[in-house]
Amino acid sequence: MPDVLIRQMTQAEFDDWRAAAIRSHADEQMAAGNWSPDEAEQLATEGHDALLPGGFATPGMLFLAADDPEGDRVGILWLSETHPRGIPDCGFLYDIEVAEPYRGSGYGRALLTAAEDELRSRGVQSLGLNVFGDNTAAVRLYETSGYRVVTQQMLKSLT
């Protein structure tokens, strides 16, 4: 695995990431047919703000950045020390993202390992996450890192 230095995001990095994350969440929900284009941005913003009432400083939420040895930022992590459905002693991986030019070189696995180490050091005993079934790279990363499916949503187009 490549070396990465894990650090807190800066406020400016958080602000940029938040805007991009809201846009991407809105796009995903539109692509899944859940939200219409006129409501997507607002619903994504509301959902985000509900999870992060204190923004960057929301208790129990961690916003981390990963730099390579040259100091270039290769990815980010959004972690929670608690699970959104209240599973005891279980943290949650809300976001893991490797910058596009760095994908496929082991950084995703390095970030996931760093996320697990960070939460373990805070007394968290397991880690949950959500992933879209068609996100092959992410699904493979999780499967080969020891994650197993615990709930599954299914959908069939009727048109």
The answer to whether residue 120 forms part of the interface with ligand COA (CB under 6 A) is no
Q: For residue 126, state whether it binds ligand COA (rule: CB under 6 A).
A: no
Q: Which residue's CB is nearer to ligand COA, number 60 or number 104?
A: 104
107 binds ligand COA (CB under 6 A): yes
Interior/surface letters 73-107, b for 16+ CB within 10 angstroms, e for the rest: bbbbbbbbbbbeeeeeebbbbbebbbeeebeeeeb
Distances (CA, A) of 83 to 46, 58, 100, 124, 126: 19, 14, 28, 10, 10
The reply on whether position 104 binds ligand COA by CB under 6 A is yes
Phi-psi region of 70 (alpha: psi -120 to 50; beta: other; left: phi over 0): alpha
b or e along 23-36 (b: 16 or more beta carbons within 10 Å of the residue's beta carbon)? eebbeebbeeeebe
CB nearer ligand COA, residue 97 or residue 116: 97
| From 106, 117, 120, 149, residue interacting with ligand COA (rule: CB under 6 A) | 106
Say whether residue 60 binds ligand COA (CB under 6 A).
no
| Cβ atoms 100, 90 nearer than 8 A | no
Q: How far is the CB of 132 from ligand COA (least distance, A)?
A: 7
Binding to ligand COA by residue 77, rule CB under 6 A?
Answer: no
Asked if 151 is part of the footprint of ligand COA (rule: CB under 6 A), the reply reads: no
Q: How far is the CB of 92 from ligand COA (least distance, A)?
A: 11
| CB of 72 closer than 8 Å to CB of 3 | no
Shortest distance, position 38 Cβ to ligand COA, whole Å: 26
Give residues in contact with ligand COA (CB under 6 A).
96-98, 103-109, 131, 135-138, 140-141, 144
